[in-house]
Amino acid sequence: MLIRYKADYQKITMGLLSYVADLKDTGRLTKEMEWYNQEDNRQLFLWKSEETKDLAGVIGIEEDEEIILLRHIAINPSYREEGMAYSMLTALKNMYATKRIVGTLETASLVTKWQKNSDHE
């Protein structure tokens, strides 16, 4: 289940985002968190595991009139290989049903694989 980021989740969100290769540096990570908080069309969502109720993943998006740009996606290593990324993207699509999800250079391959997979379900 996707839940909107709020300040109470700052430490866990920063911990999850630190799994993103270019956000391992604390200074860079802090700037990225500030960047998301500067505009209303930028949003972080946390993924709450249905089974354990743990906050196990994070998605960072930028919303446009027609698209949702997936800027970041990170999953706690303990939860990888469970299809969580696809579940997160499907939940995001359900939240923004009228918009198309696209990726950055870093996230485009995941988005493409998810789209191909969801087209066959």
The Cβ-side half-sphere exposure at 85, using a 13 Å CA radius, reads 19
Instruction: Check whether 28 has a pLDDT greater than 70.
Output: yes
Q: What is the pLDDT of residues 78-120, one digit of tens each?
A: 888 878 999 999 999 999 999 999 999 999 999 999 999 886 4
- Which phi and psi angles does 120 have, rounded to 5°? -95, 0
- Total tally of structural domains belonging to the chain: 1
Helix pair 26-38, 10-17: axis angle to 10 deg: 120
CATH number at residue 110: 3.40.630.30
H helices of the chain, where?
10-17, 26-38, 84-95, 108-119
Question: pLDDT grade, residue 51 (50/70/90)?
Answer: confident
Distance CA 59, CA 6 (A): 13
Sign of CA dihedral 13, 46, 50, 108: negative
Q: Which residues constitute the domain of residue 66?
A: 2-119
Q: What is the pLDDT of residues 54-75, one digit of tens each?
A: 999 999 999 999 999 999 999 9
Question: What is the C-alpha separation between 101 and 70, in angstroms, rounded?
Answer: 7
What's this model's pTM, rounded to 2 decimal places? 0.91
pLDDT of residue 119: 67
